[in-house]
Amino acid sequence: MTEHHLPSQLEVSPAAPDRNLALELVRVTEAGAMASGRWVGRGDKNGADGAAVKAMRSLVHTVSMNGVVVIGEGEKDEAPMLYNGERVGDGTGPECDVAVDPVDGTTLTAKGMANAVSVLAVAERGTMFDPSAVFYMDKLVTGPEAAEFVDITAPPGVNIRRIAKAKKSSPEDVTVVVLDRPRHEGLVKEIREAGARIKFISDGDVAGAIMAVREGTGADLLLGVGGTPEGIIAACALKCLGGTIQAKLWPKDDEERQRAIDAGHDLDQVLQTDDLVSGDNVFFVATGITDGDLLRGVRYRAETATTQSLVMRSKSGTIRQIDSTHRLSKLRAYASVDFERPR
């Protein structure tokens, strides 16, 4: 396990999430990754997602917190578990908002492609943005070096040049992460005209955002329209990593636009990191399902599995990378989760 500590850790009030939550939370994403990992490459994204949801729900109710799922499987997925508004935790700990994505990258998992992760974020109660059924947002994400210079309302070329200047490089050195979608045809053209490189991702919005912030991934910026829930989860990660996410809600049709207006949203507002999650004591955990730029995927042996996870806390600035070996027979005994191959 490797750790990186940024300056000081303060004690928290009993009403706030406690630092001891970190290792409890990573057990949840490890369970999700190991359960969905059995479905890697099998062509069944619903099977992978369902396995992760079931495993994570079983484990999350053992965590010492009084949580409410603010960002969950949600209305879009018509999910029976880990849905928005569901209470999670054992009810004994602090009041928390919970954001969960059992499989960020279900298609990646189904196809055996890189960067599928299982993610969970926790913050003080009432601090996570409620998207009110607006499923998509236009996003800009970049790291600490250029955070104060970018502006989502500016053309992509402007932001690319600003990032290059902040990093003392040229636009040709900037790599932009973009979801590979037809709606981004114009964006892709503008990025290439600015001279920057593009790293396309087919799914995995949360991992893509973290790649744009974390050193060593080769990415400098994420642009384009992706899921609103994933944007809020990414904001939780950015509270721990530094950098910025800027976003504007992107209703997909007139009905969703009206629903957003009725809910009081200003569709012209640029949402900053603190608008998406205002808390100062945020936990973010992710466990790799498939190998990727951020994490190694699950490895299975006859009776064991190994996982790699990222565990972060905004209040202390601590970032941990945790490599774990799991005895599957012992996990089955206490977790009531089936980590066997799907039949």
CA atoms in the 13 A half-sphere facing the CB of 295: 34
Q: What angle, 0 to 180 degrees and rounded to 10, lies between the N-to-C axes of helices 45-60 and 328-335?
A: 60
Annotation-wise, does 204 bind a ligand?
yes
Residue 324 to residue 263: CA distance in whole angstroms:
43
| Residue 227 assigned ligand-binding role | yes
Q: Does the annotation flag 181 for ligand binding?
A: yes
Q: Binding residue per annotation — 101? A: yes
Q: Between the CA of residue 165 and those of 145, 154, 245, what are the distances in Å?
A: 10, 16, 19
Q: Is 230 annotated as a binding residue?
A: yes
For residue 127, say whether it is annotated as part of any ligand binding site. no
User: Is 104 a known ligand-binding residue?
Assistant: yes
What does DSSP say about strands 283-288 and 221-227: parallel, antiparallel, or unpaired? unpaired
Cα angle at 249 between 248 and 252, to 5 degrees? 135
Query: Is 105 annotated in some ligand binding site?
Result: yes
CB 222 within 8 A of CB 176: yes
208 marked as part of a ligand binding site: no
Cα distance between residue 139 and residue 152, in whole Å: 7
Question: CB–CB of 183/162 below 8 Å?
Answer: no
Q: Using alpha carbons, select from 47, 50, 51, 55 the residue that is nearest to residue 30.
A: 55
> Which residues define the annotated binding site?
49, 73, 101, 104-106, 136, 181-183, 203-205, 227, 230
The annotation places the binding site for Mn(2+) at 49, 73, 101, 104, 230
Show binding-site residues for substrate.
104-106, 136, 181-183, 203-205, 227
